[in-house]
Structure 1
Amino acid sequence: MVQPTPPSSDALHRRGLMFIMSSPSGAGKTTISRMLLEADPAIRLSVSATTRPMRPGEVDGKDYHFVTQGRFDEMVENEEFLEWAHVFGNSYGTPKAQVKAGLREGQDFLFDIDWQGTQQLYQKLETDVVRVFLLPPSIDELRRRLTGRGTDSAEVIAARMERARAEISHWDGYDYVVVNDDIDECFAKVREILHAERMKRARQTGLIGFVRELMRP
């Protein structure tokens, strides 16, 4: 019997995905994001543009693209963002070109954004988006974490708690919801979600050709 021709190396090409993690401040998305980037070389952080000042240790182009408000407004006007929002007096946005090009090449992107940005991305690129929301184990624990940082005043913490309740109210707009009671368990669940989403048939853009080869007489 004639054997099927082996598929080429790119036969099982996969379209990349946009892996969004949101949470109220203090619920752990920054920590989980950092762990995921360190553990998985196949995903990289989507670098946002922002008008907020650069903090010590941050690198322009790596942590954020730091721009003036005037430049940011110009980018909005030119429709250069997939999503953008004003948060705590600063502007944040996701540049469009680099993400769309990466997705076509099979690159996965990690997004650390709020529910407003998530909604905008989902409306524009629904099939490429995976939405994960992290919840704190309790509102008291969330307050304890924010206070424990020792970096914010009581007024800022109060504002963050108010915003946290508003953000939590949008939990049902996400595909997955994970309670971050234990950081290692939470991370393991997030990785499971990512692995499963990568294997979805709709993202395996090389499957049609591969299966046709298998079925050839």
Structure 2
Amino acid sequence: MSTQGKLIIFSAPSGAGKTTIVRHLLKEIPDLEFSISATTRQPRGDERDEKDYYFISKEDFLHRIAKKQFVEFEEVYSGTFYGTLRSEIQRIWDKGKHVIFDIDVEGGLHLKRKYEEHALAIFVQPPSLEVLKKRLTGRGTDSAEKLAERFVKAEKELNYAPQFDIILKNHELETACAEAKVLVTDFLKKDI
């Protein structure tokens, strides 16, 4: 019989600060391990295969969908897929750890529905859409076209916040990280 731990799901529009919060929690809470998502997009900057993502071809991704190897997957942007492999969650649980996700909003909700009380779904809310746009533009990693696509998606994603267990406001990063640590630690202590 395979082991089952808990899942900590962080979702937010791109640029809300979820990745920074997740990295902070991974340093602070040794029982957590990051779930590496699979994607069909190309690596950005210094991203590495099997560390930041499992970078796979679209053909391989579609083949794995057909074989039901994903717990959840989305075509997040046109032609670009992201997903969570069942084997990735099991790999982490087999080590006796809990899984932490940095995942898009729809994927996060799908995981929460699937794992119910074993999952804590946290929506990281930016101070405003304007601040979010500034953060994304300031990254300098996306073309104007890609930024426009991200802005449209972010507006839509902000409407999903009430469907999450908790809305964590990220007005000040240090405070949001501290609040996230308390929320996650309390959830991991809870008996299910």
Q: Which residue, out of 164, 169, 173, partners 1:174?
A: 164
* One-letter identity of the residue aligned with 1:37: L
| In 2: Cα distance, 1:60 partner to 1:154 partner | 26
Structure 2 residue 138 is the aligned partner of structure 1 residue 148: yes
Between Structure 1 and Structure 2, whose CA radius of gyration is higher?
Answer: 1
Structure 2 residue 91 is the aligned partner of structure 1 residue 91: no
Structure 2 residue 66 is the aligned partner of structure 1 residue 77: yes
**Any gaps of 5 or more consecutive residues in structure 1?**
1-13, 203-217
Between Structure 1 and Structure 2, which shows a larger proportion of strand residues? 2
Deviations 1:66-89 (A, max 9, x none): 111111111101111110111123
Does structure 1 retain, via aligned residues, the 8 Å contact 2:123–2:164? yes
* One-letter identity of the residue aligned with 1:157: L
Deviations 1:25-80 (A, max 9, x none): 11111111111122222211101111111234222111111111111111101111
Does structure 2 retain, via aligned residues, the 8 Å contact 1:15–1:107? no
| In 1: Cα distance, 2:60 partner to 2:146 partner | 28
Does structure 2 retain, via aligned residues, the 8 Å contact 1:16–1:105? no
Cα 1:144–1:54 change in 2 (3 A) is: closer
Does structure 1 retain, via aligned residues, the 8 Å contact 2:40–2:80? yes
Structure 2 residue 188 is the aligned partner of structure 1 residue 193: no
Tell me how far 1:172 sits from its aligned partner.
1.0
Partner of 1:209: none
Q: TM-score, structure 2 length as denominator?
A: 0.90
Cα 1:105–1:61 change in 2 (3 A) is: closer
Partner of 1:212: none
Deviations 1:150-174 (A, max 9, x none): 2333333222221111000000110
Does structure 2 retain, via aligned residues, the 8 Å contact 1:118–1:131? yes
More off after superposition, 20-29 vs 54-63:
54-63
State the SS of the aligned residue for 1:201.
coil
The aligned length equals 189
Does structure 1 retain, via aligned residues, the 8 Å contact 2:33–2:92? no
Partner of 1:24: 13
| In 1: Cα distance, 2:64 partner to 2:49 partner | 17
Q: TM-score, structure 1 length as denominator?
A: 0.81
**Any gaps of 5 or more consecutive residues in structure 2?**
none
Structure 2 residue 115 is the aligned partner of structure 1 residue 125: yes
Partner of 2:154: 164
Does structure 2 retain, via aligned residues, the 8 Å contact 1:69–1:91? yes
Pairwise CA RMSD: 1.8
